[in-house]
Amino acid sequence: MIGVFDSGVGGLTVLRALIERIPDADYLYFGDTARLPYGSKSAATIAQYAVGAVRYLQERGAELLVIACNTATALALDEIKAAAEVPVIGVVEPGADAAVAASRKRKVVVIGTEATVSSHAYRRALQAREVTVQEKACPLFVPLIEEGWVEHPVTEQVARIYLSEAFSDDASDADVLVLGCTHYPLIKSVLRRVAPEHVAIVDSAESTARAVERQLGIERVASSTDGKAENVHGLKFFATDSAEKFRRMGTRFLGLPVEDVVHVDLKE
């Protein structure tokens, strides 16, 4: 049983990548939708919320925890690991590993929310691997994606502006773009169109799913039915706000029906 935690629905892109790679596992997903966005909260508050959520997942049988939230990974991973009784994998380190593997010039651009960029978690992880990093906050992407404007001309125009700024000056020859937010895989096709042609795009959701595979010692055998709904054993969802809203938006992020949603009221 794999437990996946996020502040909202964005982490469903991580769950989607996990299902595609490990379809025969059972999954529990916890979205703390009543208390998002995490980015405007203190590190201590984020740690408190995240620890409560992962304990809830453990109590329901999670044997491995995936922290799909970039902000919680950046600001509270140590506290989460200290509180957990099972292995914990965040999204930052796998994303950094994948960026290093993809970069020949050892120059990388990371885009994310204000909170993730301000934490400099990706910068620290990449600099520890002797990679030069340019970070760029892209605060308009999340609301555009949640509005469903994934292929809207406005989203593409915003992406052009953000990426032109991200790949400016010393980063003009960077050869990897790291998607440091779990919402961003939904606009990967837009980012591919507007990013410089020589740039490889690293999706931290996919990187995290590969890290989980390694943790579990799984050898992936690709098949024509990878990631199809009928191959998923068990999918259960927990949300701290409206189950109906989570169901509606979650289906778009997961690419599969989101049906079994339980409303949870975690005490402060």
Strongest mean pLDDT among 36-40, 159-163, 217-221: 159-163
Q: What is the pLDDT of residues 167-213, one digit of tens each?
A: 998 899 999 999 999 999 999 999 999 999 999 999 999 999 999 99
Mean pLDDT of all residues in 220-245? 71
C-alpha span between 35 and 17 (Å, rounded):
25
Taking alpha carbons only, the member of 171, 169, 189, 196 closest to residue 108 is: 171
Q: How far is CA 76 from the centre of its chain?
A: 15
DSSP code per residue over 53-93: HHHHHHHTT-SEEEE--HHHHHHHHHHHHHH-SS-EEESHH
Percent of the chain with pLDDT over 70: 94
So what's the pLDDT on residue 224?
41
Rounded to two decimals, the pTM is 0.92
Q: Each residue of 106-163: pLDDT tens digit?
A: 999 999 999 899 999 999 999 999 999 999 999 999 999 999 999 999 999 999 999 9
- 136 membership: H or E segment, kind and range: strand 132-137
**Residues taking part in catalysis:** 69, 181
| Residue range 83-103: mean pLDDT, rounded | 97
Report how far residue 198's alpha carbon sits from residue 177's, in angstroms, rounded to the nearest whole number: 10
Q: Where in the chain is the domain with CATH 3.40.50.1860?
A: 2-90+208-263, 92-204
227 — pLDDT class (breaks 50, 70, 90): very low
Task: Specify the CATH architecture of the domain 92-204.
Answer: 3-Layer(aba) Sandwich (3.40)
Whether the Cβ atoms of residue 8 and residue 32 lie closer than 8 Å to each other: yes
User: Under CATH, which architecture does the 2-90+208-263 domain have?
Assistant: 3-Layer(aba) Sandwich (3.40)
CB contact at 8 A, 145 and 186: yes
Average pLDDT on 53-79 reads 96
For the cut 60, the answer to whether the pLDDT of residue 230 exceeds it is no
DSSP reduced 3-state for 226: coil
Residue pair 81/92 in contact (Cβ under 8 Å)? The answer is: no
Q: How far apart (Å, rounded) are the C-alpha atoms in residues 11 and 83?
A: 21
